[in-house]
Structure 1
């Protein structure tokens, strides 16, 4: 069951990042004027999608606490690095961000590190 909570933590974290990026892009350019910046950010905070992303961060934290009741931190925490891999792939799919060879190699090294670390 602890691994299910790890997967849930990762999924909720990735969801939050993708949703925030999507809504920030939809909101337009960050204003130059100080007062406008405050209103811009308040508008984002009141956006239902952003609220769902913040809720997902809270739920990810709750799920992570469940993980911590069953597994050692030094074993479980490296798995959260998979968020980088999923965010890279989804950013390419949804936002057409460039996925370069160095990024792919970096993600491969992260996965390799998780595999090696989980065996030790």
Structure 2
């Protein structure tokens, strides 16, 4: 299997996990209680939500893809691709979650993508 497919899998499951957690927590209008015991109960209920749980499972699957990538690629080749995760989360967040888009964020996004290309290519 192409080792870059392992990187793509890592990115997909990492981004999915972040987006689904933000989406679900926003939908549930989560406000963390003050007391420690209440936080524990509340967080346990959240983890049992099927979508939130899928975000945690997604993080585990991303880890499996990452381990597979590490068997095929040098970390100095593979790891720069992980900087694309925040860029992808930014784009999906703006498009589907109504997150704010600013020129500064867009410039940062371009710099991340260019930096990834330079790091991997040279």
CA distance in 2, matches of 1:36, 1:94: 31
CA distance in 1, matches of 2:120, 2:8: 15
Counterpart check, 1:69 vs 2:85 = no
Aligned residues: 120
- 1:32 match: secondary structure: coil
Deviation at 1:22, TM superposition (A): 1.2
Deviation at 1:49, TM superposition (A): 0.8
Deviations 1:8-56 (A, max 9, x none): 1000000000011111112222223333222211111111111111111
- 2:72 match: secondary structure: coil
Partner of 2:57: 55
Partner of 1:11: 12
CA distance in 2, matches of 1:51, 1:37: 17
Deviations 1:59-118 (A, max 9, x none): 100001111111100111010111111100111122211111110101111111111111
TM-score normalised to structure 2 length: 0.93
- 1:69 match: secondary structure: helix
Kindly report which structure 2 residues correspond to 1:73-112, keeping only aligned pairs within 5 A, or say none. Answer: 73-112=75-114
Partner of 2:25: 24
Q: 1:79 to 1:107 in 2, by over 3 A?
A: same
TM-score normalised to structure 1 length: 0.94
Q: Which runs of 4+ in 1 moved over 3 A?
A: none
Partner of 1:33: 35
- 2:33 match: secondary structure: coil
